Amino acid sequence: TVASVSGVLLLTAGKYSADNWYIRCERAAKPNRQAERVTAEDAIDIAVLEAIPFDYPDSATEVFYETDEFTSVCPWTGLPDFAHLIIRYLPDKSLVELKSLKYYLTSYRNVGILQEHAVNRILQDLVQLLAPVSMMVESEYRERGGIKTRAIARYDRNNKSK
């Protein structure tokens, strides 16, 4: 069997028997340039997150942060995933400093992470930083391939659940 690559075509010649030959022409697999730019989860910049004091710890204040600009990438295809992200929590003694949260969320831009894993990772990092009474991270990803994804991760200090 002889194989030759010419542009995007792959030509294969082979022998059925002593007198019968075949030639097959196929498309050669193109390298996935998008997937080459995908970074691992260790590129998520948790060091940039900062906590600031919350002066009303017994007030039952509920804090909401929302953005339509959350972006990560599919770990297999490298295609971008765009989401509406909501972070809701009851703080105890700390709030997250907003500029640090913005930089943290931006660090996901080229990270290959499953949509369902992203909300859990954000929840885990923020709970570790803030030790809130409760927290919820919700994402609604834009439709891709005819499927829309919505994922919610929860933490409640009293139930020890995520």
Residue 50 to residue 96: CA distance in whole angstroms: 6
Sign of CA dihedral 78, 86, 103, 122: negative
Say which of 19, 58, 81, 125 is annotated catalytic.
Answer: 81
62, two tokens: 């509920």
Distance, in Å, from the CA atom of 108 to the CA atom of 115, rounded to the nearest integer, reads 11
Active site residue 42: no
Establish whether 81 is a catalytic residue.
Answer: yes
Degrees, nearest 5: CA angle 145-119-156: 145
Residue of 45, 74, 125, 156 with catalytic role:
74
Separation of alpha carbons 156 and 16, rounded Å? 67
Residues with catalytic roles? 74, 81
